[in-house]
Amino acid sequence: MAPIIGDRQFTDSSVLTDFVINRGNGVKGLSEMGLKALPKPYIQPLEERLCMTKFVPQQSIPIIDMSHWKNPRVASAVCDAAEKWGFFQIVNHDVPIEVLDNVKDATYRFFDLPADQKNKYSKENSASNNVRFGTSFSPEVEKSLEWKDYLSLFFVSEEEASMLWPPVCREQVLDYIRRTEVIIKKLLQMLMEGLNVKEIDETKISLLMGSIRTNLNYYPICPDPELTVGVGRHSDVSTLTILLQDEIGGLYVRGNQGDGDNWIHVPPIKGSLVINVGDALQIVSNSRYKSVEHRVIANGTKNRISVPIFVNPKPTDIIGPMVEVLQNGEKPIYKQVLYSDYVKHFFRKAHDGKKTVEFVEI
């Protein structure tokens, strides 16, 4: 049980930090206290709140049926979506619905643990940097906090996972990773063929999917959802992100038309997975495929969860436009960069749209 602390006491940021971060209560702990007002550190600047006048209800990201994935039209649809939208949903992808339901249930189980048990996995207490329970994005550098708690699991091996990952969700997350690997490889094969990359050798496998990170995200009920965000505007640093969302909704993607400040809701579809291009794929494709800004709104009536798998280069890989992409004389847009340096630059600052990719522009 979280201790009873009144709204007024949270006007002291040190009390808030101690309760939310140091003692592991997270924003879930705040939510469960039934606060009547949003604590000031969570109030976002006006320009970062999603105004509903910018919402484009008639638009939708592509939905692609993967049941006949060997049909050239499926590959064409995947590449087209990656070029024009940066986001698409896939259905009939052969990841069993029970695997998806199990990992969602496991996410709730982890966040239902007492604060002191979750706090064993915090930055200060975790036995490994590969397992991290936290809140917001990077609280130490953010001027305004995000209304989200998370557990981040960097996959090294099943042996390490069995030793270090929380038992309440370990097997379900591992099964989710195993079952999605096939579809990840199919999607990357299609996307590489679209770039005229005919052979994916060991070097390219490392570059495209050399490391995997899975997050369990928890967005609790918020007292003033219109004043804050679940996640601020950003693009992912991954090659691809495979997202499982629940039935609540709340993910918005920047539209590809109009004045550039239109946002499209990604509606939950039972059994679907949301796929988005990350910065690493935009860089290696020399901007043929686009990583696109997205954000998550807070919810005033329902708790929401999501489980993204971030498919990344290895930290030690150098990323830059692929030779095959440039062989027709196309000029590189991006310089070569050590992937771990790119990721450090991303986490060194608050979410700020697409500014991370500008870090490597020539």
For the chain, give every domain's residue range. Answer: 13-49+62-359
Cα–Cα distance measured from residue 10 to residue 43, given in angstroms and rounded to the nearest whole number? 13
Name the average pLDDT for the chain.
87
| Whether 39 contacts 148, CB under 8 Å | no
Instruction: Name the pLDDT band for 219 (thresholds 50, 70, 90).
Output: very high
Cα–Cα distance measured from residue 39 to residue 138, given in angstroms and rounded to the nearest whole number? 17
pLDDT at 111: 96
| Whether 216 contacts 112, CB under 8 Å | no
Higher pLDDT, 356 or 206: 206
The 10 Å Cβ neighbour count of residue 150 is 23
Is 21 a residue whose pLDDT tops 70? yes
pLDDT digits (tens, 9 = 90+) for 124-171: 888 898 999 988 655 555 567 889 999 999 999 999 999 999 999 999
Q: Is the Cα torsion angle 8, 14, 17, 22 positive or negative in sign?
A: negative
| Whether 240 contacts 188, CB under 8 Å | yes
Cα–Cα distance measured from residue 120 to residue 118, given in angstroms and rounded to the nearest whole number? 5
Taking every pair of Cα atoms in the chain, the longest distance, rounded to a whole number of angstroms, is: 66
Instruction: Name the pLDDT band for 6 (thresholds 50, 70, 90).
Output: very low
What is the C-alpha end-to-end distance of the chain, expressed in Å? 52
Is 54 a residue whose pLDDT tops 80? no
Question: Quick one: which of 10, 23, 41 has its CA closest to 116?
Answer: 23
Is 225 a residue whose pLDDT tops 80? yes
Strand ranges inside 171-234, DSSP E: 211-219, 231-234
Is the CATH number 2.60.120.330 carried by domain 13-49+62-359?
Answer: yes
CA 261 from centroid of its chain's CA atoms: 21
pLDDT digits (tens, 9 = 90+) for 307-329: 999 999 998 999 999 999 998 88
- Both tokens of residue 85? 């939208």
Strand ranges inside 156-277, DSSP E: 211-219, 231-234, 240-245, 251-254, 263-265, 273-277
Q: Tokens 């140091």 belong to which residue?
A: 22
| Whether 238 contacts 215, CB under 8 Å | no
Tell how strand 87-91 and strand 63-65 pair up.
parallel
| Whether 180 contacts 95, CB under 8 Å | yes
Span 40-68, average pLDDT: 76
Q: Tokens 């929380």 belong to which residue?
A: 166
User: Rounded to the nearest 5°, which phi and psi values hold at 15?
Assistant: -65, -40
pLDDT at 229: 86
Is 259 a residue whose pLDDT tops 70? no
Cα–Cα distance measured from residue 238 to residue 212, given in angstroms and rounded to the nearest whole number? 9
